[in-house]
Amino acid sequence: MKQKSVDTVEFAKAIADETRQNIMAICCCVLLSVNDIVEKTNVAQPTVSHHLKILKTAGLVRSERHGKQVLYTLNQERMAEGCCQVAENFAPEHPVELVD
Amino acid sequence: MKQKSVDTVEFAKAIADETRQNIMAICCCVLLSVNDIVEKTNVAQPTVSHHLKILKTAGLVRSERHGKQVLYTLNQERMAEGCCQVAENFAPEHPVELVD
DNA sequence: TTATCATATCGAAGTTCTTCAATATGTCAA
DNA sequence: TTGACATATTGAAGAACTTCGATATGATAA
């Protein structure tokens, strides 16, 4: 059965920025507020919001509002799917698979 | 034993362009001259050379001169390594592995 | 060596991206 | 409702990227 397809250009663009990769690493296994991320990255709050929007649009983070705060976390499943799709397209002779 | 580390920002930037992904797809399992790639992509020759240089710098293509021509091919092993490294960093709970 | 072909580099134009100050929107407590 | 806090949006400046014409470099054949 075929996986849901991934737009590998959008995926790659979304992760192709150092600040975004910092944010991704920081909220990898935890739920963090925007302010938490601002503090941990030393990047201005509008900048963090902007990057979160790009990651959200690409489906790479989930968010949920808790009161005044909005908590973000990395969507690891989508990350893994993106990686597998890139590998499937561009490394067909070195297969990479999701170990589920 | 630890794999040679991958700069995931450079890796992601290298693949984060539609024209480059076209080139990558085209020379995935074959050796192609720059001119072959120009013809298959409808992109100007200097543009193709520029993209090939970016891919080369990131280690994602190999090249060998054959007479007047320079033949390029995608380095699938490096592609797979890049994908695995991204997954390792950003999807540790959805492990992805290279099936060798 | 010279002419020709293939690729690389240069330089400029246009586009996209990153960043942040200022401000708007949304949420809650009082 | 009002005030205070948290996040999103706007708008502008600068940086980085893509593209291609013109040209340079490298390789071969005659």
Q: Which two tokens stand for residue B85?
A: 């490294």
Q: Give the distance, in angstroms, between residue B3 CA and nucleotide C12 C1'.
A: 42
Hey, are the CB atoms on A12 and B16 less than 8 Å from each other? yes
CATH for B52? 1.10.10.10
pLDDT at B2 over 60: no
Quick check: A86 and B15 in contact, CB under 8 A?
yes
d(CA A29, CA A62): 12
Residue A49 located in a structural domain: yes
- Is residue A61 one of the residues assigned to a domain? yes
Residue A29 belongs to a domain = yes
Minimum-distance nucleotide, CA of A67 to C1': C27
Domain residues for the domain of A36 are 8-90
Strand order in the sheet with B69-74: B32-33, B69-74, B61-66
Which bases of chain C are under 7 A from a protein CB atom?
5-11, 17-22, 26-29
How many Å lie between the alpha carbon of B15 and the closest alpha carbon of chain A? 6
Number of domains present in the structure of chain A:
1
How many residue contacts between A and B have a Cβ separation below 8 Å?
127
- Residue A98 falls inside a structural domain: no
pLDDT at residue A30 in the model: 98
Q: Considering only CA atoms, which of B99, B17, B1, B89 is closest in space to residue B55?
A: B17
Q: Does position A28 have pLDDT exceeding 70, yes or no?
A: yes
The mean pLDDT of A27-51, rounded to a whole number, is: 98
Question: What are the residues whose beta carbons fall under 8 Å from the beta carbon of A36, sequence distance 6 or more?
Answer: none
CB pair distance less than 8 Å for B96 and A77: no
In a domain, B97, yes or no: no
State the Cα–Cα distance between residues A78 and A58, nearest whole angstrom: 9
Q: What is the mean pLDDT of residues A59-80?
A: 98
Of A9, A21, A94, which has the smallest distance from its Cβ to B9's Cβ?
A21
Nearest CA to the C1' of D21 belongs to which residue? B46
Taking every pair of C-alpha atoms in chain B, what is the biggest distance, in angstroms?
A: 49
Residue A68: how many other CB atoms lie within 10 Å = 7
Averaged pLDDT for residues A16-40: 98
Q: Nearest-CA residue of chain A relative to B92?
A: A76
Q: What is the Cα–Cα distance from A87 to A84, expressed in whole angstroms? A: 5
Q: Please, which pLDDT band fits residue A100 given cuts at 50, 70 and 90?
A: confident
Radius of gyration of chain A (CA): 15
- Residue B21 in any domain: the answer is yes
Domain-embedded: residue A96: no
User: b vs e for B14-32, b when ≥16 Cβ sit within 10 Å of the residue's Cβ?
Assistant: bbbbeebbbbbebbbeebb
Are the beta carbons of A48 and B61 closer than 8 angstroms? no
